[in-house]
Chains A and B, each alone.
Chain A
Amino acid sequence: MRGNNVMGIIFSNLHENLISQLTELRTMGAVPFGGRYRLIDFPLSNMVNSGINKVGVITKSNYQSLTDHLGAGKAWDLSRQRNGLFILPPFMDPADYANRVKTFNAIMPFLKNSSEEYVVISDCDVICNIDFQKVFEKHLENNADITVVYKRDQLPAKIQNPTVFSFDNKGRVNDVLVDPAISGSCSFYLNIMLIKRELLMELVNKCIGKNTMSFKRDIIQAEYKNLNMYGYEFKGFSPVITTVSDYFNANMSLKNPDVRADLFNSERPIYTKVRDDMPTKYGLGSKVSNSLIGNGCNIEGEVDNCVLFKGVHIGKGTKVSNCVIMQDTKVGANCNLSYVIVDKDVIIRDGKTLAGQPSYPVYISKLSVV
């Protein structure tokens, strides 16, 4: 794919309402994940690792933390003379980005001015390490107009407008259901698609002309019969974040070595903004087990089954278990935390006890003092 003919578009804003606490002060793509990443790092790194060197990032509101994170795209090798990273906020009116079809229409100049033949489209709600090169090869092999990436699994409970496919024996889509009442395993859309750029523009223009505004219903569902639409099954680790609980579980699943080997594949590394933290310090008398820990932490207490982000402090005599603690949060001495998601820059004073339940982790918002 290098030197190539494919560009990327990432929707960093969609699905925010599903995890409204975590996205109160940031856009979906900027939600911290896995000890040092933000959700957008995954689609962005996947694109870069597949040889894509032009990526447009759609963002609608609350995007300061996203632009701070992305900068000029240096960390993803997207700070380039030719192509690179394009951040695409609404031109003037956020209503231009009211839905996916309108958004594509609003960025039509960007699409028009590009010369790449194909576009990979991705959201930030699926955490995975996918090789788009393989999707691309399949796409060419099938002589497809559109290749949709899907996963075979139970539908995530809170997923919005799930799109479920069925295929003929050659893998071509022969039915599309949007928001069906379905139980059991099915092939559902991961909001990742490979499409010809000009076809995308054409389909969007058609929708705008007819004032039909659902990308899933009016493009995928309405057009699959007229187009060569094929599926690509992604079988790797790929949780869909539709609830805070999903978010918590996806973080926790990183303790599994197979999941880490899959998601952090060293051939296709996940890039993120660099912070120049020192290595993590484990104090005398500290006790850490089965936990994923970012750089720059200072641990003097007990940490068990946790994900700690960069720069977290755990005081003496404190016990944290089954927690996700985001960057630079300071937990004082003699605290007791279990099943808690603590956002960034929180201060938890000495001697506090906070407990959630495995099915319902407690969430402490950014910059709180407890």
Chain B
Amino acid sequence: MYPKQEVVAMLLAGGQGSRLGVLTQKLAKPAVPFGGKYRIIDFPLSNCVNSGIEAVGVLTQYQPLVLNEYIGSGQPWDLDSMNSGVRVLSPYQQIKGTDWYKGTANAIYQNINYIDRYNPDYVVILSGDHIYKMDYSKMIAFHKENNADCTIAVIDVPLAEASRFGIMNTNPDGSIYEFEEKPEHPKSTNASMGIYVFSWNKLRKYLIEDEDTVGSEHDFGKDVLPKMLDDGQRMFAYQFQGYWKDVGTIDSLWESNMDLLDPNVPLDLSDESWKIYSRNPVVPPQYIAESADVQNSMIADGCDISGSVDFSVLFSNVVVKPGAVVQDSIIMPGCVIEEGAVVQYAIVSENTVIGKNAVIGARPEDIEDKDKWGIAVIGDNLKIGAGAKVAPKEMIAKDIEEVK
């Protein structure tokens, strides 16, 4: 017998995140390192805990090893209670056969049993690829106030960018009368954040119906939500104020990391009242040597810095040797930047060694053809040989030989 939970959160973490290329070759997008010590999934998980949600199902499918191991018992997020906490839910074999999660709605459908045992009133659907701090309890209160069946969190985006999002058109009372998926001529700037609150009895019914609907892609955005709207269910948009970023592309991942260095960006990770929890490596404090020059950067424990680091985010155990230069870059755990190497506008994945005098990426002002410029990305556990050159925008998945 499980004690009732008023709210159960379901976190969709099965996506490959193919636009992140080499960064998600061996791990699911929510496990991608972020912000010097976190992984993306720390944000929705910590938001759940800080919002008082005690039961969280994490739906995994693509490359789950790193994610499973990272979540573990859920202890770092205080999600290891006796009867609730975090559960990793992967697709499983059933009497009628075996299925992968066919779509976001189907993933929840396949785990109705998990949700039912808590007998919840509300289910919150979250995705594992956004960086934001949000109090879901306020959104649930809004949902209750409106006696809604479904509430969708929206954020005001610039009109010019609105056509990249799913747009919710609302009546003055906040109720939704129309969805537009990536509209050419958006009528409003309320972009869906991919965060939904449902009354569980309603959602349960629609998931079962959707499962039997021929031709459905079993997706919330494409199938379930439009069907609910057509049926005249009470659907509301919940306006979110604050920092929110989809980090599904190399550029947005890079930007969002850099946002942490900008005091004007409202994403404060030092806020004691809304901590972002994570699994912490067992490493000594960071050491900044006499020869080092560190400016406007974020550096994690275990780093050993003797070179110059500027506008960059360094994860734990990164070594920057004397004479090496790291600018406007993200260096993931355990990387070594050897003497004289120059890393600019780049993302270097875990445990990679950048050899002596190698040059990775370039500053946009040093490139004539602006179309050729972009963030250079180096995969994990690679050896970039001494003197090698990696052009901007390149994505490296293999070792590079030393250049003599």
Contacts and interface: CB of A to CB of B under 8 A. Distances in A.
A276 B276 CA distance: 7
A278 B36 contact: yes
A122 B288 CA distance: 33
A291 B282 contact: no
Given A274-B280, A278-B270, A295 B294 contact: no
B285 A292 contact: yes
A295 B301 contact: yes
A81 to B, nearest CB: 13
> Max chain B CB contacts within 10 Å: which of A263, A271, A277?
A277
B299 A280 contact: yes
A287 B288 CA distance: 10
Given A279-B298, A295-B37, A36 B285 contact: yes
Contacts of A287: 293
B285 A295 contact: yes
A288 B295 CA distance: 9
Contact of B284 (A35, A74, A274, A281): A35
A303 B290 CA distance: 10
Interface in A252-272: 255, 257, 260, 263-264, 269-271
Contacts of A283: 296
Contacts of B283: 264, 269
Contact of A293 (B275, B286, B309): B286
B83 interface: no
Contacts of B298: 278-282
Interface in A271-314: 271, 274, 276-296, 298, 303, 307
A40 to B, nearest CB: 16
A287 B295 CA distance: 8
Contacts of A269: 282-283
A295 B300 contact: yes
Interface string B294-316: 11111111001000010001110
Contacts of B299: 279-280, 282, 293
Interface in B355-382: none
A276 B278 contact: yes
A74 B285 contact: no
B171 to A, nearest CB: 41
Interface string B264-278: 000001100001111
A294 B75 contact: no
A231 interface: no
A126 to B, nearest CB: 18
Contacts, number: 102
Given A276-B278, A278-B37, A279-B300, A36 B284 contact: yes
A279 to B, nearest CB: 3
A49 to B, nearest CB: 11
Contact of B296 (A271, A278, A282): A282
B294 A288 contact: yes
A34 interface: yes
Contacts of B275: 276
A112 to B, nearest CB: 33
Contact of A289 (B35, B282, B288, B296): B288
A18 to B, nearest CB: 25
Contacts of A74: 75
Contacts of A276: 76, 275-278, 280
Contacts of A264: 283-284
A289 B291 CA distance: 7
B292 interface: yes
Contacts of B270: 277-278, 296, 298
Chain A interface SS verdict (over half)? loop
Contact of A279 (B37, B282, B295): B37
A274 B277 CA distance: 10
Given A280-B299, A282-B299, A284-B295, A293 B277 contact: no
B286 A34 contact: no
Nearest to A284: B296
Contacts of A271: 282
Interface in B4-38: 35-37
A290 B295 contact: no
Nearest to A74: B75
Given A269-B282, A279-B35, A293-B286, A36 B301 contact: yes
B287 interface: yes
B289 interface: yes
Contacts of B37: 278-279, 295
B290 A293 contact: no
Contacts of A263: 284
Nearest to A310: B285
Contacts of B76: 274, 276
Contacts of B287: 255, 257, 260, 291-293
A343 to B, nearest CB: 18
Nearest to B295: A284
Nearest to A45: B282
A10 B74 CA distance: 30
A281 B300 CA distance: 9
Contacts of A289: 288-292
A279 B298 CA distance: 6
B288 A35 contact: no
Contacts of B309: 282
Interface in A308-358: none
A209 B284 CA distance: 47
A274 B280 CA distance: 7
B282 A282 contact: no
Interface in A233-251: none
Interface string B23-66: 00000000000011100000000000000000000000000000
A292 B301 CA distance: 10
B294 A270 contact: no
B6 to A, nearest CB: 26
Contacts of A293: 285-288, 299
A76 to B, nearest CB: 10
A263 B284 CA distance: 9
Contacts of B293: 287
Contacts of A34: 284-285
B168 to A, nearest CB: 33
7 contacts: A278-B298, A280-B299, A282-B309, A287-B293, A290-B289, A293-B285, A293-B287
Closest 8 CB pairs of A and B: A35-B285, A279-B36, A278-B269, A264-B284, A279-B300, A269-B282, A290-B290, A288-B288
Given A279-B301, A290-B290, A292-B286, 6 more contacts: A257-B304, A270-B284, A276-B76, A282-B297, A282-B299, A303-B288
